Amino acid sequence: MYSAAVVGAGPAGSTAARFLSEKGHDVILIDRKEVVGVPKQCAEGLFSDCLPEFATEIGGFITGKIRYLEVVFPNLASYRVRCDLFMLDRPEFDQHLLKLAERSGAQVALGEKAERIDPESGMIRLRGGETIRAEAIVGADGPASRVAKSMKVKNRLIPAAQMEIAWPEDDAIYAYLDHDLCPHDTGTTQKSRSYSCWVFPKNERGTANVGCFGTFPTLERFVSKYRIAGDVVEKNGGAIPLGVAERLQRRRAVLIGDAGGLTNPFTGGGLYPAARSAKIAADAIDRFLRGETERIEYESRMRRDFVASGLHMRGRNALAALSNDELCRLGDAMDGLVFPGLRLSASPLLVYRGLRHPGIMRPKYAPLLNLLFRYCLAGKVW
């Protein structure tokens, strides 16, 4: 009988396993892959303020530093938000976190697939027939989580496509907003269709991750329309959860990271929520195992901590509802602005430009401007 069984050895799972092991608990960390982090399914950006959430120092997994996020509209108007962001080598980062978990005392079982999970009893049956029992189960097994399925939870997913290409040194990551890129993608509603593509330079590699919310045809239209050129190093794709799962806990089982839909619905970023949910889950399970609580008190704490998710979702839905003409009017009002974070010195200029462009002074833009100001107040974007 283990104190805790963690299913999934990505950033969330490895971090939760390490935190629980460091608290003195007997932990097993299970992953179906032989090598974690491969293939990568991530734009690989992590804001520097988020790294301490993983309780690790800067290492060889850093492949560049970025100073700005630049948002580009269909008419090529743009604005910037100052940031301090690390570019990662995700496979190396994932393997680094796994090693930390192993060194902390967690038992690691790679190449083992959890076929059946019982949240009531804490039983996990592996593909080879072996049965594991644990006082607590942590589901960290990604967007299509088997632990979530055992809890009768199904995440809402959107596709993402990406390629890594040769790219010159750059001081910004780029988010392109353009609804016309995906008119032919099937199976998408207005709110789930692609509205954003990105370029994330990795300066120490001389490459960039170029991707989109959507399919590879959407990505091909993006690189053609905006003349994004460079030799292709690799292609990858996956699914991104859109919105927190309706349930994050059932009896002995909890969901963290992508398994619980804990991504930023506005940006799709999942590394910060992975670390935060791992810490909150480890603390809640630790208190339960020590007899301080009668049950694992995780879900209510996680929802309080992740309260900004609702604002991000409203911002995403507002953006998804705008036409390209409306995006261009918004871009004209914000063109050339640089938001420096805490000082908010660009705010008066934004108000002035908004008055000059009354087309953007509408209630439908309020969630987007609210979100932008929240980012500036925080001095970071996640």
Q: Which domains does the chain have, with CATH numbers?
A: 1-44+89-155+243-305 (3.50.50.60), 313-378 (no CATH)
Q: What is the pLDDT of residue 329?
A: 84
Residues 6+ apart with CB under 8 A from 90: 37, 40, 42, 44, 61
Q: Tell me the one-letter amino acid at 184.
A: H
pTM surpassing 0.85? yes
Residues 6+ apart with CB under 8 A from 292: none
Residue 169 near residue 207, CB atoms below 8 Å: no
Residues 6+ apart with CB under 8 A from 98: 9, 14, 29, 36, 108
Angstrom distance (rounded) from CA 182 to CA 48: 33
Which structure tokens are listed for 283?
Answer: 């603390």
Q: Tell me the one-letter amino acid at 315.
A: G
Q: What is the pLDDT of residue 3?
A: 98
CA-based angle 218:315:222, to the nearest 5? 15
Residues 6+ apart with CB under 8 A from 19: 55, 278, 279, 282, 283
Q: What is the pLDDT of residue 224?
A: 96
Which structure tokens are listed for 347?
Answer: 């705010």
User: DSSP assignment, residue 155?
Assistant: -
Q: What is the pLDDT of residue 194?
A: 54
Which structure tokens are listed for 205?
Answer: 């590699």
Q: Which positions of the chain have pLDDT values less than 70? A: 183-194, 341-364, 372-382
Which structure tokens are listed for 157?
Answer: 């997913």
Angstrom distance (rounded) from CA 323 to CA 195: 10
